Amino acid sequence: MPYLFTSESVSEGHPDKVADQISDAILDEYLRQDPTAKVACETLVTTDFALVAGEIKSTAHVDAEPIIRETIRRIGYDKPEYLFNAETCEVMNRLHEQSPDINQGVERAKDEDQGAGDQGMMFGYASHETANYMPLALDLSHRLLQELAAIRREGRDMTYLRPDAKSQVTIRYSDDHRPEAIDTIVISTQHDEFDASENVMLDQIKADVLSILIPRVKAGLSADAQGLFTDQIIYHINPTGKFVIGGPHGDSGLTGRKIIVDTYGGKGAHGGGAFSGKDSSKVDRSAAYAARHIAKNLVAAGVADQVLVQVAYAIGVAQPVGVFVTTYGTTKAKGSTGATLTDGEIAEKVNKLFDLRPYAIVQRFGLQNPIFGQTAAYGHMGRQPGTVQTTMKDGSVKTFETFTWEKLDYVPQIKTEFAL
């Protein structure tokens, strides 16, 4: 019997995502000045107020206030009527020195012996149902809001748009777990005041979503994905009605409160640790990236159609305490006897191929570089690897790779190891 699965996303103007972006902007500034900085930065935003707090160990000297204001301005909160304004909001800085008790568990005489910055378990997931190996419902939810933000910035259509927005997509799957159609799309977008009545306003927003937003999203999809958009889709557009008050004025925002949006939209699993504002010594972030890299490369190499990888650590210990893999019964790889490999056998090969010590992860993905600002909205996974140019402390301009954990650079090694 067909079944439904749903994922959501939130825009860069959502209050929790504003907080995430501020935390990662501060992290990037510390790394720009000091690649070895240890940073744990949390942000709270509410009506015309932003607070940053956390623990830092660094030789860098960072003035947080202009970074906070520029981040808020870039997102689009730059008008007094939003009641959260980059120019006027109060800023409070409560960053302080990191506890030496934590640091002694991380730093070692040899860099490669660096211990994990905390205990915990991290998960990575990949599926063959999209080109970027992400769950389809989440991928579409992200795309809807990325396109909505692009429309807002262009300023030609839907000129009433404000930065805060949420989306949700429900996919109908067949018995054999293949996407059949989009069942429901939910879009809630903040907007300016309308001169017209609320019913006229809602009709205008819905008409624009259907005639402007949806065609632009479909244009960027494969033919198969476009075919999922049928006339039977149920649309809920601003279903609560008027949405003028939004952003941090409408609801307070906190770093790390959208961890499912940041990862896999409820598919696979999540260890519970947030990402933004944390340097790569915190395995909550770096090991989650490594687990995604493993899962994505396994699926791309043809080991299985769907893979979940778990890595777990003890604080201060370099080697993971365990590596777990499940393919949900979709394994294609076979052993020397011709029998399908078990998940345990796949995990053993993963341990052989991938160095999962924190130092090795940091080096493999360049995680001491100031590359995290781009991760803090629209998901940390499934993004296109690229580059970013940054002016360093000495005035030099350097180019760094972004989303390095999304590379398919281990596919040849995996194919060799699994005889594919």
Average pLDDT per consecutive 10 residues, the chain (420 residues; last block may be shorter): 95 98 98 95 98 95 96 97 96 85 57 74 97 98 98 97 98 94 98 94 97 97 95 96 96 98 97 96 96 98 98 92 96 90 96 95 97 98 96 89 98 95
Please state, in angstroms and rounded to a whole number, the distance separating the CA atoms of residues 320 and 342.
Answer: 21
Under 8 Å between Cβ of 144 and 215: no
Residues tagged in the binding site annotation for K(+): 42
Other beta carbons less than 10 A from residue 352's beta carbon: 10
Encoding tokens for residue 170?
């429900």
Supply the pLDDT for residue 99: 61
Under 8 Å between Cβ of 110 and 116: no
Supply the pLDDT for residue 395: 84
DSSP assignment, residue 212? I
Please state, in angstroms and rounded to a whole number, the distance separating the CA atoms of residues 253 and 47.
Answer: 10
H or E stretch covering 398: strand 397-402
Largest CA distance in the chain: 73
Signed CA dihedral, 28, 33, 34, 35: sign only: positive
Signed CA dihedral, 74, 79, 83, 85: sign only: positive
Q: In 3D, which of 7, 219, 230, 11 has the Cα closest to residue 129? A: 7
Please state, in angstroms and rounded to a whole number, the distance separating the CA atoms of residues 261 and 7.
Answer: 8
Residues tagged in the binding site annotation: 14, 16, 42, 55, 98, 164-166, 242-243, 251, 257-258, 274, 278, 282
Domains of the chain, residue spans: 3-10+136-245, 16-101, 120-127+258-417
Encoding tokens for residue 232?
């039977």
Supply the pLDDT for residue 394: 84
Residues tagged in the binding site annotation for L-methionine: 55, 98, 251, 282
Architecture of the domain defined by 16-101: 2-Layer Sandwich (3.30)
Under 8 Å between Cβ of 11 and 17: yes
Residues tagged in the binding site annotation for Mg(2+): 16
Supply the pLDDT for residue 34: 95
Supply the pLDDT for residue 391: 87
H or E stretch covering 167: strand 161-173
Residues tagged in the binding site annotation for ATP: 14, 164-166, 242-243, 251, 257-258, 274, 278
Please state, in angstroms and rounded to a whole number, the distance separating the CA atoms of residues 13 and 166.
Answer: 9
Find residue 400's DSSP bridge partners: 388
Supply the pLDDT for residue 1: 80
Please state, in angstroms and rounded to a whole number, the distance separating the CA atoms of residues 248 and 44.
Answer: 9
Architecture of the domain defined by 120-127+258-417: 2-Layer Sandwich (3.30)
Supply the pLDDT for residue 75: 98
Architecture of the domain defined by 3-10+136-245: 2-Layer Sandwich (3.30)
